Amino acid sequence: MLTVSNLHKKYQMGKVPVRALNGVSLEVRQGEFVAIMGASGSGKSTLLHLCGGLDQPTGGSIVIEGNDLAKMGDRQRTLFRRERLGFVFQGYNLLPTLSALENVVLPAMVGGTGGKNMEMRARELLDIVDLNHRVTHRPQAMSGGEQQRVAIARALMNNPALILADEPTGNLDTHHAETIWRLLARFSRKEGRTVLAVTHEPTGATFADRVIFLRDGQIAGDCDPDGEGHASLVATRYAELVG
């Protein structure tokens, strides 16, 4: 459902080129849950941004559900993002004037399918991320971890075909982090949604079907985490491939 081919991203910092991605190729099946790991600066966020059509590559291509992102017009890409993709990014981008519930419902409103059902779904999602006691709170009246959980609920609101999550549990305690990993795993296994999630936590990565390791903008290797509880397997492979 996602095909990344020989992807390059070069940033120009004055005279110095920064090669954030240096020929990444990746094939992800529909319903697959892929975790991406790698040292800080290895290109993980860049890869996710490009896959979400939020930035343009300097080389290579990204095809999602048969659509080549580079060949879409701006408007078409915006609609595609809204209807097919769900984002959980660093810095939650919640709207400060809206309550938790309103922030979660928002993607459905923008898509033109608001209404009672949508509110029910939003409440359900907030319940799953353990925030049913915070529905009327605005972002400033919530902790960092709570805001992050609202952002996760919002990303799932439109039932996206592809979820792109950048360290979705970065601010969460172990218990809530596990809730989120289970939620993402359920989305992929039960509902056939595809998940691409960056994480630094071997324990989180064990919920994925496959872990991909990035090093200096290239794929250094991968591993099959072989089910929950095999965090040491992921950590060992990380040490081998990333250092």
Ligand X SMILES: Nc1ncnc2c1ncn2[C@@H]1O[C@H](COP(=O)(O)OP(=O)(O)OP(=O)(O)O)[C@@H](O)[C@H]1O
Interface region with Mg ion, contact rule CB under 5 A, candidates 45-53, 92-100, 122-130, 155-163? 45-53
Binding status of residue 45 toward Mg ion by CB under 5 A: yes
Binding status of residue 44 toward ligand X by CB under 6 A: yes
Interface region with ligand X, contact rule CB under 6 A, candidates 33-41, 66-74, 180-188, 220-228? 33-41
Q: Which is nearer to ligand X, 126 or 198 (CB)?
A: 198
Burial of 226 (0-12, 13-18, 19+ CB in 10 A): exposed
Shortest distance (Å) from residue 48 CB to ligand X: 8
Q: 170-193 as b/e, with b when 16 or more CB fall inside 10 Å?
A: bbbeeebbbbbbebbbebbeeeeb
Interface region with Mg ion, contact rule CB under 5 A, candidates 38-46, 60-68, 173-181, 189-197? 38-46
Binding status of residue 42 toward ligand X by CB under 6 A: yes
> Tokens 């009246």 label which residue?
141
**Rounded distance between C-alpha atoms, residue 130 and residue 76, angstroms:** 35
Binding status of residue 203 toward Mg ion by CB under 5 A: no
Sign of CA dihedral 148, 152, 155, 161: positive
Q: Cα–chain-centroid distance for residue 206?
A: 16
Shortest distance (Å) from residue 166 CB to Mg ion: 6
What is residue 211's DSSP assignment? E
Question: Which stretches of the chain bind ligand X, using CB under 6 A?
Answer: 11, 13, 18, 20, 38, 40-46
Question: Which stretches of the chain bind Mg ion, using CB under 5 A?
Answer: 45
